[in-house]
Chain A
Amino acid sequence: MRAAVITFPGSNCDRDLAVAMETCFGRPVARVWHADSELPPVDLVGLPGGFSWGDYLRSGAIAARAPIMAAVRRHAERGGYVLGICNGFQILTEAGLLPGALIRNAGLRFVCRPVRLSVVNRNTPFTAAYGAEPITIPVAHHDGNYVIDPEGLARLEGEGRIAFRYLDNPNGSTADIAGVLDARGRVLGLMPHPERAVEPLLGGVDGRPLFASLLSAIDGGGRP
């Protein structure tokens, strides 16, 4: 497992994601600057949470056009794994690597609380280690309301690309969607923060199976 985490100006979960990956993977994680144009040789790229470019214009819109994103796109086209969390999810939709968009929460307020999720598709490289029970992972966002047109939604549902759904929807997302995959199942974007749920001391470990799933998908010979 070779992983990297990208830092954009305004990213603020970059350290947290790198620490969680290092804890779960048992290997150092490369840190990459937004202005770089090449990724180091990696299997997994993490786009962290935060407020890249202050959420100005639209959340994730400016970061989606950062120099490093061309390299992330090529990485994804080659079948590399990409994990976008919170602002990272917003960046992936703005970059067109995932369908749909994330708009202001239906309640219009920022919301930070642990939420319960169902793991909708357990047959993906990001979710294979989960069981059938609901999991609890915190959210912390202002723009987490996932919207997609009916045709797009039907496609996501038909292709098993909804990875997670909220059991008590905190932001008004269409069809309670909390996380979606790209067509090849190698790019995941989700609003909840699995990197905040890898230690009992911090209130839970339901984020760990996500990283464990990736580790076995990549180191277990899942990479083409």
Chain B
Amino acid sequence: MTMLEITDELLARHKLTRAEYAEIERILGRPPNLVELGIFSVMWSEHCSYKSSKIHLKKLPTEAPWVVCGPGENAGVVDIGDGLVAVFKMESHNHPSFIEPYQGAATGVGGILRDVFTMGARPVALLDALRFGDPKAPRMRHLVAGVVAGIGGYGNCVGVPTVGGECTFHPAYDGNILVNVMCVGVARADRVFYARAAGVNNPVVYMGAKTGRDGIHGATMASAEFSEADGSLRPTVQVGDPFTEKLLIEACLELMETGCIVAIQDMGAAGLTSSSFEMAARGGTGIELDLDAVPLRETGMSAYEIMLSESQERMLLVLECGREAEAEAIVRKWGLDVAVVGRVTDSGRMVIRHRGEVVADLPVAPVSGASPVYERPFERTPRPLPLVAEALGGPVDARSALLRLLGSPDLSSKRWIFEQYDWLVGCDTILPPGLGAAVVRVHGTKKALALTTDCTPRYCRADPREGGRQAVAEAWRNLVAVGARPLAITDCLNFGNPERPAIMGQLVDCIEGMAEACRALDFPVVSGNVSLYNETDGRAILPTPQVGGLGLIEDVARLVRPDAARAGDRLVLLGESTGWLGASLYLREILGREDGAPPPVDLALERRNGELVARLLAAGAVRACHDLADGGLAVAVAELCLAANVGAVLEPAPADASEAGWLFGEDQGRWLLAVPPARLPELLAAATASGVLARPVGTLGGDALTLGRHPPISLEELRSVREGWLPAWMDGTA
């Protein structure tokens, strides 16, 4: 091995500090060569090692009787009964999507799909949570168009329906958009696969696409801040091939049926390096790798490039010794490359050979498990003062305020986006996108999975702890609202530079808030991802702890459809209203202010109200159910009316309430129920018995929405305003 001169420049290119380098020398008892330095660089990157977040992530609850596998594997696994499990995870692809939106988003979909089918599950649904910048910012239309086309281009081709998600806009994302994709799969409980290399002398097998020079150092890129000049980073963005991914899914699931697989892991961030090290580390074994056997796309690739390539659609497997030919026949049938590239050993070392030489010889455990862990200094965000209602002053033109809210970028219909996704393939999508939680039937059964993604970043910025609690609570509510039992969440924690104490404080507070809500609602975290350094030129994004929730509907006949309300149904508001306008969408969109404390989340109340709603839904007392979120009561009523295509009359604000607060306040733990009149007395009695405030606030009927004493708004106008903004903006006419 040749001696390497360790310069500041070399370490900077590998995003390693002098202290981290000193630790590498201590571990090895010698200086590393370039291949080894590259391996340490990616394995110890923020993206792979979670070195800034690890000590705080431990605060999240990860267990429940229905949790089969929590964080640490490729994806989380929960029991859904009858011998089946749901496997799910969410992951970010923020930096690549900002550089090259189509491929960045497409490969984000590819990566999260692999995390799920690696575990033996057939992927059955995708959701995407997107955060873009100010619609007026340069490149923003291009970014939206590219990201949406990329998600569709990949998901549509692999044949996994994209059934839901969110898309909002804020100037804080101008230089750093967020693309978070969640994938859900279903597997047999007795056939879940883990990434633990075992069995000395078992073959290590490479399958899938060939290795090229693309995406080298993607994981380290994902762990650095941006500057505007980083268009030059484009070569570190990988290029996806969804056709190969589709073949890989089918080949893997067919291989898994044979029982010849001991361990399997996809080559995602940091490619062959992370997959081999992680499998050996989890199995407590070693691996000998022969890079001359790796299928290559181009000639003359160095060991450094082969180990760090992030070429897509590749898997690493450990097979039972002697079953290579059987496996090869299946992989070849699907037209994919397959090669034995190594053997499992009991040495605890990764020994890598290339062109007859040992090019790296590293102890597995320290590279994989002993990455530095930072207890970074943090400053908690000062808690903002609640807004004083009088300060908001003046009467409200409720009619025009509602129309402006429905036509705002955040609340406007996302039809332009979801119609570019095949949300129907698989013939199991029961609730289409755009209504609330998505619902996908478990193929061949009566069960269904309810899925949602949630986070309110403006709450998280105002008060990260409340924001963290709210993100979890809203996901829980969205699942309850369709009649599902919430089971668990995955998360994607998107923050700025953790080396800044204020940003680190946001991360710590959001995690602690999420942990409180997860505990209070029995809604553990089973998988997730952390994306830090979401900054451009020192401007950080809003703290965005994106939550992806999964719930179970035992029998699709019990589904409560958000569009099932009918004329004559009474509208019932359940939960306490104080008219909370701090950090609300009304404040931002109508009054042009983004201040004040966000609505507090009382977790005991949240649970009590939600459990009552679940009982009422199960008893069939409710025709349709919406939780109250952005834009409060008025927006919830408008959305319920549009979903069911029926008008409503909403009673005027109570005498003691401000009208703006009544209509647009965002107090948490609240629900809007459409109730057949005959069931109303029973429903109100049940609420009283549970100590929950429930009040009739209106009646459905006609073809217009009337807010108290204001003139009616026709459904047609509501619909055209809500549907209008996004297509008009994309056409350049908004």
Contacts and interface: CB of A to CB of B under 8 A. Distances in A.
Contacts of B425: 12-13, 16, 49, 140
A60 interface: no
Chain A at the B interface: SS class: mixed
Given A50-B159, A109-B420, A9 B149 contact: no
Contact of B427 (A9, A16, A54): A16
B335 A16 contact: no
Interface string A13-24: 101100110000
Interface string B413-428: 0000011111111111
Contact of B424 (A15, A138, A201): A138
Contact of A202 (B152, B334, B418, B427): B427
Q: Which 9 A-B pairs have the closest CB atoms?
A: A12-B159, A54-B243, A51-B157, A140-B422, A16-B427, A110-B420, A112-B422, A110-B152, A113-B419
B241 A201 contact: no
Contacts of B427: 16, 19-20, 195-196, 199, 202
B701 interface: no
9 contacts: A16-B426, A51-B159, A51-B242, A109-B149, A109-B420, A112-B418, A140-B424, A202-B429, A203-B432
A53 interface: yes
B243 A112 contact: no
Interface string B150-162: 0011001111000
Interface in B413-466: 418-430, 432, 441
B165 to A, nearest CB: 14
B556 interface: yes
Interface in A103-161: 109-113, 138, 140, 142
B246 interface: yes
B247 interface: yes
Interface of A: 9-10, 12-13, 15-16, 19-20, 49-51, 53-56, 109-113, 138, 140, 142, 193, 195-196, 199, 201-203
A109 B424 CA distance: 17
Interface string B233-264: 00000000111101100000000000000000
Contacts of A55: 157, 243
Given A110-B420, A112-B419, A203-B432, A13 B159 contact: yes
A12 B152 contact: no
Contacts of B424: 112, 138, 140, 193, 196, 202
Contacts of A202: 424, 427-430
Contacts of B432: 203
Contacts of A20: 427
Contact of A111 (B158, B247, B419, B556): B419
Contacts of A15: 426
A110 B423 CA distance: 12
Given A202-B429, A202-B430, A10 B243 contact: yes
Contact of A10 (B246, B419, B423, B426): B246
B158 A12 contact: yes
Contacts of A142: 156
Interface in B114-165: 149, 152-153, 156-159
Given A109-B149, A112-B420, A112-B423, A201 B430 contact: yes
Nearest to B158: A12
A111 B156 CA distance: 11
A10 B157 contact: yes
A9 B556 contact: no
Nearest to B427: A16
Nearest to B418: A112
Contacts of B242: 51, 54
Contacts of A203: 432
A21 to B, nearest CB: 12
Contacts of A16: 425-427
A109 B422 CA distance: 12
B412 to A, nearest CB: 18
A5 B430 CA distance: 25
Contact of B156 (A110, A193, A201): A110
A116 to B, nearest CB: 15
Contact of B243 (A9, A109, A195): A9
B157 A9 contact: no
A20 B156 CA distance: 20
Kindly name the residue among A54, A55, A109, A110 whose own CB sees the greatest number of chain B CB atoms within 10 A.
Answer: A110
Interface in B368-421: 418-421
Given A12-B158, A16-B426, A203-B432, A53 B243 contact: yes
Contacts of B441: 201
B246 A111 contact: no
A157 to B, nearest CB: 30
Given A16-B427, A20-B427, A51 B420 contact: no
Contacts of B159: 12-13, 50-51
A155 to B, nearest CB: 33
Given A53-B243, A109-B149, A140 B156 contact: yes
Nearest to B415: A113
Contacts of A10: 157, 243, 246-247
Nearest to A19: B427
B422 A9 contact: no
Nearest to B243: A54
A124 B556 CA distance: 36
A13 B427 CA distance: 9
Nearest to B148: A109
Nearest to B428: A202
A62 B556 CA distance: 40
Nearest to B246: A10
Given A9-B243, A51-B156, A142-B156, 5 more contacts: A10-B157, A10-B247, A13-B159, A112-B156, A196-B424
A196 B430 CA distance: 11
A9 B247 contact: yes
Nearest to B559: A201
A200 to B, nearest CB: 11
B26 to A, nearest CB: 48
B93 to A, nearest CB: 20
B59 to A, nearest CB: 41
A105 B15 CA distance: 45
A51 B246 contact: yes
A7 B404 CA distance: 49
B719 to A, nearest CB: 15
B679 to A, nearest CB: 24
Nearest to B448: A201
Nearest to B242: A54
A190 B363 CA distance: 59
Contacts of A54: 157, 241-244, 246
Kindly name the residue among A15, A19, A109, A199 whose own CB sees the greatest number of chain B CB atoms within 10 A.
Answer: A109
B471 to A, nearest CB: 29
A54 B244 CA distance: 8
A193 B425 CA distance: 10
Contacts of A9: 243, 246-247, 334-335
